[in-house]
Every structure is written in structure tokens, then in C-alpha cells.
Structure 1
């Protein structure tokens, strides 16, 4: 079965475990709208000698890098976040980096996994989308089954050791009243980026053309809508490209690790 293109098959992936098993079996699509009610995570995997620096980077930059979990060196699981998890196979797409250069985008990374690698699960804004949908809001990327549009900005992250770079943001367009409500709703989800970092006027944060995202797929912004920008967990990929570590693994933007963690556990009630 072609998991990547069968939209009806996507609809059967209702839990985090079902989504992960589908990835293990060959699903390669975007995870927006998948397993609604369960948290999703960005993946960053680095050699152990960079793990402490990256941990401090996350602590200093909680908006783009809200940390949900960290693995033991060489481990392929994240206890407490997902059962029956293999970090080498259970995402719908990976990126492999050497010296800051993207060298491959494989479906699994068993052949390049090493005993010194530490995996970080970083909160993803897809997690709060069920709450937005419950309010009747339209999420254009999710309806189309594509990745949310993501953009590199001119917003500096706080450095940690050799790690430094610019923040990446995701964008969702809303009518003004819905944009205000979206701010209120997502403010309750600090573990998955929380409230937006910017509304409207994309040029103010270094984005010249909304129709040309740096990652993900473009969506139309209607004349009566305002673009709303959230800090994004793809930020570490921009940092990897900037500081050029000898080796790293990440997820492909928009193709996330789906967890067993209920989305309400990422909210402050």
C-alpha cells in the first residue's frame, strides 16, 4: 500500500502508535492532521559531545526549542513519550547532515545510527492544532495534507557554546478575530511553542515572500487574513547548517515523530 499518497489511509492513523507503525511500514507523508489528540515532536540527534551544549541551547530558547524528552546515548527510544518506539524508523522522513551539509533524506536511519548519538524530542506546533480545529478554525495546510509553511527569520537565538543561529517560524493565516483567538488558545501550550512570536508584516522579521517558504509548502493568505507566526522546532536545523557539526540527524520538516502523549498534557489548564 502506498501510504504516502493514499489520503483515505491517512484517516486510519488515529493514535500515535498507529502513525509510528505506518512510518515503519513506509508512510512518508506530512503528519499535519494525523492522530489528532496526540502530541507531535521535532527530532534532533547529535553526538554525545554536543548534547550538553544543545540541552543548554534548548533551555535558553524555549520558544523554538521546547524540550519534551532526551534519550540515553545510543538508545532508540524515549521512555514516557512513546511505547514500541524505534527512532531509526518511526518517522516519515529523516535528514542526515555532515559538517553542516544536508547529505541525504532517507526513510530510515538504521545504517547511520551510532552508539554515541543522543536524541532530543522538541515540541511541535502540530500538537495544538486540534485545539484550533475544535474552535472551528481552518488550517489550510492540514486540509491539503501538506507541511505547514516555515521561514527563516532575522530573529537571533540565544547562543549556547558553539550553537547559534536564527529562529525559524511556522505560519498559519487567520482572519483578525480568529488570529486573536489563536493567540489565546496557543498561549496555553508552552511545551509546543506557545503563543505566536509575530503577527502580520512578515518583512519585519526578515521574510520577503510568503509564497516561497524555506521549508514546507506554501499556503494562500487571503486579502482579509493576517499571517500569524509561531516559533518552530525546525530552528535547530538552521543552527546545524550554521555551526556545522560533524554529524547530525533530524526529521524532514513537516514529517514529525507522533507520540503517545495526549496533547492536553502539553497545555497549561
Structure 2
């Protein structure tokens, strides 16, 4: 009987293997970088809520201030040639895309918020908590404008006021738009790197390893069959035909 050492690992088992065995037995994932390591779901959800709340507060406070002090005024140059504050009312999506489809974008925003809330039930990843927080805060920020601002409920125009590099004619946007774009970029990056919502990570090595194991399985089955003395049906038929040919040769002889 193997004796357990002070750490609980069986004698003769390398410490690293013992740790991986304990992780696997406890259901802990065996892959993932330290910064994306799975954690307590409640803490990750709390982080998502904090990020979303901060983004929402920044968005609504900034909109309140620019509407109060800058609307119907001349654009305010903050950084010459780089940053100008000018208030516009946007009936479309982010960056003034799709004007005239306000109600459609309101429904889309509601759907996004519901999807993020449902996805949060599986959340155990730190970077995904930040990503979903950015998306949720931005979506709720613009959704608030669409529900409560003029000209009508659920058809309100979003307040945009940030104009970057005016010479490029880049569309005017707001804090919520910036959060949505940053969250989208992070989501694409995390998906590309294989980071999952639950904190695990699917690596290329794991994917290629699974394919190699599946390819090697038929060959392994054939080897085991030969070791057990099992002969494929086609081989047995060929053996019987050869035996019949030898019998006829003897009879002719």
C-alpha cells in the first residue's frame, strides 16, 4: 500500500502530478493563465456590476453636464485638432449609424442587456467580468437615453458629444459608445486566445492533442485486437480461401 506524504500525495508520485490529480478530482480546470484563473462566481459578478455601474455613472453624468452647459452653444475645443466637445442628438446606433431606426436599436439594446445578465450566471473569469461590465454599462447608458429622452419613450435620441480629430470627420460619440467598443474588442481578443466565460482556457495544444488522440484510437484498437488474437473478418475469409485452395491441390495431386 502506498504511503501518503505530509501534503497528501501518494509516495512515488511527483508533486506536480499529485497537484493536477487533486485539481481534476475537485473539478478545477487544468488550463488557463494566472490572470484569467477561475475564481469565485460571486466576486466576478460583483466586479461586473462595479465596472458597469462606473461606466453608467460616467456616461450619465457627462451627458447631463454637456446638455446643461454646452447644448446650443459653440463647440468647445479641449485639445486643438484632437478633441472637441459638441452636443448632438443621435437617433441611430453608436457613432450615428442607422439614424431613423431608433425603436429597432432600443429592442437590440434590451436584448443585449438580457443576454449579458443571463451569461453572468456562468461567470468565473476576471477578464470576462471586466468585458461584460463594459458592455453592460455602455448598453444600459444608451438604453436610458432611448427610453427617457425626447422625442418619445423608447424612441429617445442618444446624446453624443465627443468629437475626436475633427479633421477626419470621425462620428461624434459618447462614453457609453467607447465602453461598448472597448468591450467588443476585449471579447474578440479573449475568444481568440481561448479564454472562456467560466475561467477555463481552450488552447491550440489541447485541440490538436484531442485530434491526435482520436486519430490514434483506431490504430490502437487494431493493435489491441491483434494482441488478443482477434482477427478481422476479411482476414479470416482470406485464410479460409487459402485453406480451400490447398485442399483442392492435394485432391488433384
Alignment TM class, shorter chain as reference: under 0.3
- More helix per residue: 2
Q: TM-score, normalised by structure 1?
A: 0.24
Q: TM-score, normalised by structure 2?
A: 0.25
Higher relative contact order (CA 8 A, sep 6+): 1
- More strand per residue: 1
Larger radius of gyration: 2
